[in-house]
Structure 1
Amino acid sequence: MSLTYHKRFQMERRIGAELSLPPLPPGYRFAPWSTGRLLDHTEAKHLAFGEELDAQLFDCLRTAEGCERLMREIARKPGFLPEATWLVEYVASPSKIEPCGTIQGIRTSPRAGAIQNVGVTPMHRGRGLGAALVSAATVGFQQAGLSRVCLEVTAANTAAVRLYQRLGFRRTKTLYKAVEVAYSLG
């Protein structure tokens, strides 16, 4: 085993004039947080992260069980903000509704919040759902009276870094996450 380090950025932005949920493409809808939807958030999170780099950095993202455990931990945190926690669903038909995006919000101080785990499932990427989730969470932070929002992102996830920059986030710190990796001699 050896250690490898992955660069991560801490990013932050001021909360501006977000006053309502952003529009979603046809066929998609927002679902507000409720404990009864925890497994839908879990499914979206696992499908969004299970095969991505972040699953190498954070063991909990590798399995559905780990994602469920993570969702339960986030929902129990003292600063958990239901109004900044959203699910996006794709409504293929009235009987076929698919959770395809998730985001969670945590109050970290009296004036600031943190976004946790923005995830969009691979089949639904490229439709603006990630930006809509971040905007919806920001509306929730604003409703809670917060003026700043931050997040962390793996630097190698250039699409996510560009998205956050487009949404007004700026890098405030560079962090390194150590990960043990197996290596072979052959």
Structure 2
Amino acid sequence: MTEYIVKRPSSDEMLELAHITYESRKSSVLADDALTLESVTESVAEVCNDNDSVVVVAVNDGEIIGWTHVFAGFPTMMFIGSWYPVIRLSVDPEPVVLGLIDKTKEVLREHEHTRLEIELDRITEATQSYMDTYAEWYKKCGFGLAATEVHMRSRVAGVEKKTPPDEYGVQYLTDVTNAQIEGPFFDCFDNGQDELYLSLTRAQREVSFRYFFDRRRPMVETASFAIFWKSHVVGFIVVREDDGVADIGPVGVVPAHQGKGLGNTLLSYSFRGLYEEGIEWVTLDASFTNKRALNLYEKHGFQLQFLKAFLFWNK
């Protein structure tokens, strides 16, 4: 009989988890040239030693046959590692996967969180059927599809700033308070097409706002802006940088001021700031169904890299 156990793995158990993960990944469509046992061992150790992660293992007759992990990303929300659970190749995967997913739901309840989410990334034509299998497993455990998103990338160019119409002004986001941004943020996203955001409860949306505009998480100050109409914020763009690559998000214009080129203005100001900072590449994620936004991003040189699927379960 298989047991599903929450535990902090020992050093020997971490090595066993690494071997299970490496063999599983190596035989799947997720394998690439960067996949080595050493890199997987390092990644597994990082997960297992992270105080914000909870590791769940499936054990049968004293042998670990699969595992997964969850971590607290936002207050009230927990996340499952992408493309987990991982199952030993010699084992029929589905019953073990379902058991591990159900155990993560118990973990969520015990931590008094309200939402459990997994992001399946790097979806291409080659990995689509693999993703479909994972999605089907999660749906059998009560998860729903929150959104499919497009991950895009553009080379930063030294574009000229596109001046907004006369009645609008642009300010650095560092000169704007969260109290000024909060109302426009909810106006924009509550009435927008961001499917992942729209799948959140009101309390979860408020948590997301605080996370996006947490000033303790450094922004690229010269690339993050707000657009004002009279004394009101009507648009914004947030840019952060990780390992030399910039990432945009969130970005939005409130519905009453859309169609006036303000999205173009925000992106041009942001690109100019990134160019002056010497940052070469910028990425963003957008809802697959938001064709208007995708068209705008393509005009600024963004190209599709891969798709992401987000599945969720609310307590």
TM range (shorter): 0.7 to 0.9
TM-score in terms of structure 1 length = 0.81
1:86 aligns with 2:86: no
Match of 1:132 in 2: 265
Q: CA deviation at 1:52?
A: 2.6
1:115 equivalent among 248, 255, 259: 248
The DSSP-based 3-state class of the residue aligned with 2:186 is helix
Q: Is the 8 A contact 1:32 1:86 kept in 2?
A: yes
* Amino acid in structure 1 at the alignment position of 2:179: L
Describe the shift of the 1:56–1:10 C-alpha distance in structure 2 as closer, same or farther (beyond 3 A). same
Query: 2-side partners of 1:61 and 1:146: how far apart?
Result: 35
1:56 equivalent among 182, 198, 213: 198
1:25 aligns with 2:159: no
Describe the shift of the 1:71–1:35 C-alpha distance in structure 2 as closer, same or farther (beyond 3 A). farther
Describe the shift of the 1:51–1:29 C-alpha distance in structure 2 as closer, same or farther (beyond 3 A). same
Describe the shift of the 1:7–1:148 C-alpha distance in structure 2 as closer, same or farther (beyond 3 A). same
Match of 1:105 in 2: 239
* Amino acid in structure 2 at the alignment position of 1:171: L
* Amino acid in structure 2 at the alignment position of 1:87: A
Q: Is the 8 A contact 1:115 1:151 kept in 2?
A: yes
Match of 1:14 in 2: 155
- Name the structure, 1 or 2, with higher relative contact order (CA <8 Å, separation 6+): 1
Q: CA deviation at 1:175?
A: 0.7
Q: Is the 8 A contact 2:146 2:311 kept in 1?
A: yes
- Report which stretch shifted further, 147-156 or 27-36: 27-36
Describe the shift of the 1:121–1:9 C-alpha distance in structure 2 as closer, same or farther (beyond 3 A). same
Unmatched runs of 5 consecutive residues or more in structure 1: 92-96, 182-186
TM-score in terms of structure 2 length = 0.50
Query: 2-side partners of 1:60 and 1:143: how far apart?
Result: 38
Query: 2-side partners of 1:57 and 1:16: how far apart?
Result: 34
Q: CA deviation at 1:57?
A: 3.9
Query: 2-side partners of 1:127 and 1:13: how far apart?
Result: 23
Describe the shift of the 1:175–1:67 C-alpha distance in structure 2 as closer, same or farther (beyond 3 A). closer
Percent sequence identity is: 20
RMSD: 2.4
Match of 2:274 in 1: 141
- Report which stretch shifted further, 148-157 or 32-41: 32-41
Match of 1:94 in 2: none
1:38 aligns with 2:178: yes
* Amino acid in structure 2 at the alignment position of 1:56: L
